Amino acid sequence: MAEQRTFRVGLVGARGFVGRELLRLVRDHPRLELSYATSRSLVGREISGEVPGFPGGQVFLKSDPGVIERDADVVVLALPNGMSGAYIDAIESGQAQALVLDLSADRRFDDRWVYGLTEHNAGAIRSARRISNPGCYATAMHLALRPIIDLCATPPHCFGVSGYSGAGTTPSEKNDPEVVGGNVLPYSITGHLHEREVSRHLGTPVRFAPSVGGHFRGIVLTALCELRDPVSVGDLASRYDRAYAGSAMVEFDAEGSVDLRGVVETNQARVGALSVNKDNPKRIGVVCSLDNLLKGAASQAVQNINLALGLEETEGLT
Ligand SMILES: NC(=O)c1ccc[n+]([C@@H]2O[C@H](COP(=O)([O-])OP(=O)(O)OC[C@H]3O[C@@H](n4cnc5c(N)ncnc54)[C@H](OP(=O)(O)O)[C@@H]3O)[C@@H](O)[C@H]2O)c1
């Protein structure tokens, strides 16, 4: 049998919470191999000193657009919002043939980039060379709402609680264990970026109120909807069953509990806990939980890279 090809990955922003998860996923992926990883603060340090399992002598390179000249079939950008542009310009002028996946919000509003919501956009992702990965809360909102959005009479209202790793590593009150420990902090309750992102990609407005909690990782998101017509839990369940029956990464359980512990440190999202108000069966609720660093970021990125490279969607993720 012919040997299967390995694809070389360049990872820009490898020190961050998402970057570290990506290092681990690339290390364990049978068809991906790390070409380079960058960081400003870890330049010259052994990668295996941060994430064990990389060859001795393989060190972090400096984060600089010049790094793009190095050999890579896939370039993954895991930088804070607003930082990807210089790297994308360098790719377009030097390595335009590379598959590029950006984890920041910088290209989520750019129609030239394919939105990497794997379960609902796989066809476009398979032929994409430029993929913008969805936000973590945004992924949870899409997974909860897409199967029933056409039934809604008014904009759905979503409420999400995230672990403080969602705020990245740059110090702020939203990731300070002294502030968030044993606490829940509501923030951006009428203008969060992910509200705009989901409204844009769903093609209909959504309202979203986030909070950050005292746990490190994981999101639980509740969506409340007013429908045009009365429904039963069974009616809704058949829609979610159809949407996620073939999905390896979304587990649907109509009336099962959807909590944080069931998804933390896994690649799976859970959707369920369907509820229909008994006095007004046009009012419904649905819950989605996922690990913000994995299905909300790094493992969804690998699902998308797999599809775009023509590999099995779950390769390296089982
Ligand atoms: N955290 C989540 O749950 C989550 C989920 C979905 C999407 N995302 C998105 O994924 C991206 C990475 O998130 P994260 O949580 O991993 O962030 P993070 O922990 O703050 O990491 C940011 C990374 O970028 C580097 N960096 C910071 N400022 C930089 C600059 N000015 N120039 C070049 N490199 C810089 C950092 O390393 P050095 O300082 O060593 O250079 C680090 O590797 C963000 O765009 C975020 O919105 C995050």
Which pLDDT value is given to residue 285?
Answer: 98
| Residues 310-317: contacts with CB under 8 Å, at least 24 apart | 310/126, 311/31, 313/118, 313/122, 313/248, 313/249, 314/248, 314/249, 315/29, 315/30, 315/31, 316/25, 316/28, 316/29, 316/30, 316/31, 316/32, 317/25, 317/248, 317/249, 317/267
The matching CATH number, chosen from 1.20.120.330, 3.20.20.60, 3.40.50.720, 3.40.640.10, for 7-134+297-308 is 3.40.50.720
Closest ligand 1 atom, CA of 292? 3
Q: Which two tokens stand for residue 91?
A: 């790719």
DSSP state letter for 152: B
The CATH code that applies to domain 136-292 is: 3.30.360.10
Q: Is the CB of 298 under 6 A from ligand 1?
A: no
- List the beta bridge partners of residue 252: 271
* Token code pair at residue 268: 């799976």
- State which ligand 1 atom lies nearest to the alpha carbon of 106: 45
Token pair 């829609």: residue: 239
pLDDT digits (tens, 9 = 90+) for 237-272: 999 999 999 999 999 999 998 999 999 999 999 999
Q: How much is the pTM?
A: 0.98
Counting atoms of ligand 1 from 1, which one is nearest the CA of 170? 20
- How far is Cα 189 from Cα 36, in angstroms, rounded to an integer? 39
Q: Which residue has the least CA distance to atom 1 on ligand 1?
A: 166
All structural domains of the chain with their residue ranges: 7-134+297-308, 136-292
* Residue 208, number of CB atoms within 10 A of its CB: 27
**13-42 tens-digit pLDDT:** 999 999 999 999 999 999 999 999 999 999
b/e per residue 33-46 (b: at least 16 CB within 10 A): ebbbbbbeebeeeb
Q: Is residue 116 in contact with ligand 1, taking CB distance under 6 Å?
A: no
Q: What is the reported pLDDT for 2?
A: 66
Look at ligand 1, atom 30, and give the residue with the nearest C-alpha.
83
Our answer on whether the CB atom of 171 is closer than 6 Å to any ligand 1 atom is: no
From residue 273, give the alpha-carbon distance in Å to each of 36, 120, 247, 310, 312.
42, 21, 18, 34, 30
pLDDT at 1 (0 to 100): 58
What pLDDT score was predicted for residue 53? 97
**Res 62: pLDDT:** 98
Catalytic residue among 136, 152, 158, 288: 136
> In the chain, where do the E strands start and end?
7-12, 32-38, 74-77, 99-102, 114-115, 130-132, 157-162, 184-186, 207-213, 219-226, 250-253, 269-276, 283-290
Measuring from atom 33 of ligand 1, which residue has the nearest CA? 63
Q: Does ligand 1 have an atom closer than 6 angstroms to the CB of 185?
A: no
Residue spans of the chain under pLDDT 50: none
The per-residue pLDDT for 3 is 77
Active site residue 136: yes
Cα four-point dihedral sign 209, 206, 267, 251? positive
Whether ligand 1 lies within 6 angstroms of the CB of 163 is answered as no
For the chain, what percentages of helix, strand and coil (3-state, to nearest 5) are there? Answer: 30, 25, 45
Evaluate: CB of 135 within 6 angstroms of ligand 1.
Answer: yes
